[in-house]
Amino acid sequence: MSKTPNKNKTMNLTAIATLQIDNKMFANPRRIALLKAIDATGSISQGAKLADISYKAAFDAIKDMNSCHQQPLVNSEKGGKGGGGATLTRFGQRLIQMYDLLDKIQDMGLQALNDDNAPLDSLLGIMSRFSLQTSARNQLFGHITTIATHNLHDIVTIAITEHHHIQATITHGSTMRLHLKPNKDVVILIKGPAITVCSEENLIHGKRDRFDNQLLGTLTAMKQDRQSTEITISLTDEISICAFVDNQDVMDETLRLGMPIYALFHSTQVIVASMY
């Protein structure tokens, strides 16, 4: 009797990166491990032992890699009274660094595959979810919908959900330098103190009129000290935004968990980041 696969079980996937030159294998994780071992020991023979392969296999691999590429990866000296030695070239060191970078990118990709909410069509989206860390309390991923050009600045509108859009005021030079255009993926950063809040009950006081960004969500958490309160506003089940508000403002709003609430901030307080 066959067993039904457990759909809730996380897949334990791995990825192996192999580089080829003219359809011939040039580098793989085993060869990269050998290069790292040679770099650590200064010797092909000692590197082979550290990488747990035979000296002949190590020698053949180095010879093959050196002959496949225009630039050698390992410089070696024959043994003598003082013994031989081996050092990585600049290209060999950069190849190791590139493989380490690929490992990080692959790990993020595999994490994204196991996360239904991760955007597999955007490297920037995956980085913002799994890797990118900034000092800004709010880091949101979205795509540009419109760019309105003015004399000295542009107003960029970014959709972070179907119902939530954020405006950023940036210089026209920044728009050109970042190659911003509609449908391009971006990450937006907003510091918590730049955000204030407003309940629906207090809309009559006109507080919202002073802000060009007004995101409606649900108040899901509050943390308070003597001077200020950290307020978490959930826009969706997956996306939230945090504000740091003076305690007096919290008292004026009579906030309570579960209530609808607006996050208010100026477009000039929004930082836009993108990838080419």
Alpha-carbon span 187 to 272, nearest angstrom: 6
Residues 158 and 247 in one domain: yes
pLDDT of the residue at 57 = 94
pLDDT of the residue at 13 = 64
Residues 220 and 162 in one domain: yes
> Last residue of some domain: 87, 112, 137?
112
pLDDT of the residue at 119 = 76
Alpha-carbon span 27 to 68, nearest angstrom: 10
Residue 48 neighbours by CB distance under 10 Å: 22
Residues 139 and 208 in one domain: yes
pLDDT of the residue at 102 = 86
pLDDT of the residue at 275 = 81
Task: CATH number of the domain at 161, please.
Answer: 2.40.50.100
pLDDT of the residue at 2 = 41
13 in a structural domain: no
12 in a structural domain: no
Residues 76 and 136 in one domain: no
Task: CATH number of the domain at 40, please.
Answer: 1.10.10.10
Residues 142 and 86 in one domain: no
pLDDT of the residue at 3 = 42
- Contact between 275 and 221 (Cβ < 8 Å): no
- Torsions phi, psi for 218 (to 5 deg): -120, 135
Q: Which domain holds residue 69?
A: 19-112
Residues 106 and 162 in one domain: no
pLDDT of the residue at 111 = 78
SS3 of the chain: the string is CCCCCCCCCCCCCCCCCCEEECCEEEECHHHHHHHHHHHHHCCHHHHHHHCCCCHHHHHHHHHHHHHHCCCCCEEEECCCCCCCEEEECHHHHHHHHHHHHHHHHHHHHHHHHCCCCCCCCCHHHHHHHHCCCCCCCEEEEEEEEEEEECCCEEEEEEECCCCCEEEEEEEHHHHHHCCCCCCCEEEEEECHHHCEEEEHHHHHHCHHHHCCEEEEEEEEEEEECCCEEEEEEECCCCCEEEEEEEHHHHHHHCCCCCCEEEEEECHHHCEEECCC
The CA distances from residue 155 to 145, 186, 223, 248, in Å, are 11, 14, 33, 32
2 in a structural domain: no
pLDDT of the residue at 204 = 52
Residues 85 and 208 in one domain: no
pLDDT of the residue at 128 = 72
Residue type, 229: T
- Contact between 84 and 43 (Cβ < 8 Å): yes
Q: How far is CA 67 from the centre of its chain?
A: 37
Per-residue pLDDT of the chain (276 residues; tens, 9 = 90+): 444 444 444 556 666 788 888 888 899 999 999 999 999 999 999 999 999 999 999 999 999 999 988 889 999 876 644 345 899 999 999 999 999 888 888 887 777 787 777 777 677 777 777 666 676 789 999 999 999 998 889 999 999 999 999 999 999 999 999 999 999 999 999 999 999 998 877 665 566 678 999 999 999 999 988 888 999 999 999 899 999 988 877 776 678 899 999 999 999 999 999 886
Report the predicted TM-score, pTM, of the whole model to 2 decimal places.
0.66
Residues 80 and 158 in one domain: no
pLDDT of the residue at 36 = 95
- Contact between 73 and 35 (Cβ < 8 Å): yes
> Last residue of some domain: 112, 135, 154?
112
- Number of domains composing the chain: 2
Residues 106 and 137 in one domain: no
Residues 106 and 236 in one domain: no
- Contact between 261 and 217 (Cβ < 8 Å): yes
pLDDT of the residue at 101 = 86
pLDDT of the residue at 7 = 44
Residues 92 and 164 in one domain: no
